[in-house]
Amino acid sequence: MENNNKVSHPAFSPWKESWKRLRKHKTALVGIGIIVFFILIGILAPLIAPGQWDGQDLAQSLKSPNFSHWLGTDNLGRDLLTRIIYGARFSVWLGFFSVSGSIIVGSILGLLAGYFGRWTDTIICRIFDIIMAFPAILLAIAIVTVLGPGLLNALIAISIVYVPTFGRLIRSRVISIKEEEYIAAARVIGMSNLRILFMHVLPNSVAPVIVQGTLGVATAVLYAAALGFLGLGAQPPTPEWGKMIADSRQYVVTAYWTVLFPGLAIMLTVLGFNMFGDGLRDALDPKMKK
């Protein structure tokens, strides 16, 4: 009698394998912890902040860190800890949504350029070349100058300068994927180009975009801080970290804490996203599989 008992093996899932590798990546876990920390303090700001972010007390201006104001106060007597906590909302939000916009627009353009080729590819690639011909931060400054200062315009500017990065990344993936046999089979059975793009091509192209997007948020936070420092991003009295440094730069010697702590917040946020991005890259890299 034949033995029909078969040993069942769990279905292989590349995403599950990547998640297992990511959980073992200590650097990535530290980065995730930093990111989650700043996201949480931004969400819970009204509950955990010791005061109002726009509350002024000129009698307490430029007070060094003490039991009443753990990180000191600024030149208008506003509690620095409160403003940094609320600033997490603006800085992280600006970095995340600007990169999200770049990924959406860049992915659509990259899909069209890589899949259809010919004149479509030529036009889209020339648009990418024009944008990339300018230094990113200078182009962002120029766009905000035209649109006018403000958080929303800074978000739009940062999104525009990042579009070619994700567009070129998706395009290169699509060019190689569209020659696969399963894409040819989808065409043979009459599947439309739109369904092929969004059901087969795009899902197999997202891994490098996720990694680049994570690293891109870190740079976007820096760009947002730079625009705020130049007065082109957040406007007073918004507690954006770059703007806080700009408002306190004249007190860097007499009240160092007004510059030090917002700068540390920017540094830690950027560090967290970079550490997470590096770990995510290693986890999604097929060469890291055992």
Does residue 109 sit within a domain? yes
Does residue 144 sit within a domain? yes
Confidence of residue 286 (pLDDT cuts 50, 70, 90): low
Does residue 18 sit within a domain? no
Say which DSSP state 64 is in.
P
Least confident of 117-121, 228-232, 255-259: 117-121
The pLDDT value recorded for residue 14 is 60
More confident residue, 182 or 95: 95
The pLDDT value recorded for residue 222 is 92
pLDDT exceeding 70 applies to what percent of the chain?
91
Phi/psi for 31 (5° steps) reads -60, -40
CA distances (Å), origin 142, targets 147, 154, 156, 163 = 9, 10, 12, 16
Least confident of 36-45, 92-101, 181-190: 181-190
Least confident of 54-68, 129-143, 195-209: 195-209
Tell me the CATH number at 254.
Answer: 1.10.3720.10
CA–CA separation, 210 and 79 (whole Å): 37
Average pLDDT over residues 190-216: 82
Average pLDDT of the chain, as a whole number? 86
Report pLDDT digits (tens) over 67-77: 988 999 998 99
Provide the terminal-to-terminal Cα distance of the chain, rounded to the nearest Å: 38
3-state secondary structure at position 279: helix
pLDDT at residue 113 greater than cutoff 70:
yes
> Quick one: tokens of 12?
């292989």
Confidence of residue 12 (pLDDT cuts 50, 70, 90): very low
pLDDT at residue 1 greater than cutoff 80:
no
pLDDT at residue 187 greater than cutoff 60:
yes
- Total structural domains in the chain? 1
pLDDT at residue 193 greater than cutoff 70:
yes
CA dihedral 42, 44, 49, 55 (to 10 degrees): 70
Report pLDDT digits (tens) over 249-282: 899 889 999 999 999 999 999 999 999 988 888 7
> Is residue 112 within 8 Å of 99, Cβ to Cβ?
no
pLDDT at residue 179 greater than cutoff 80:
no
Confidence of residue 9 (pLDDT cuts 50, 70, 90): very low
Does residue 2 sit within a domain? no
Does residue 22 sit within a domain? no
The pLDDT value recorded for residue 289 is 47
Range of the domain at 161: 44-288
Does residue 10 sit within a domain? no
Does residue 21 sit within a domain? no
pLDDT at residue 160 greater than cutoff 90:
yes
CA–CA separation, 11 and 214 (whole Å): 28
Does residue 70 sit within a domain? yes
- Name 236's bridge partners: none
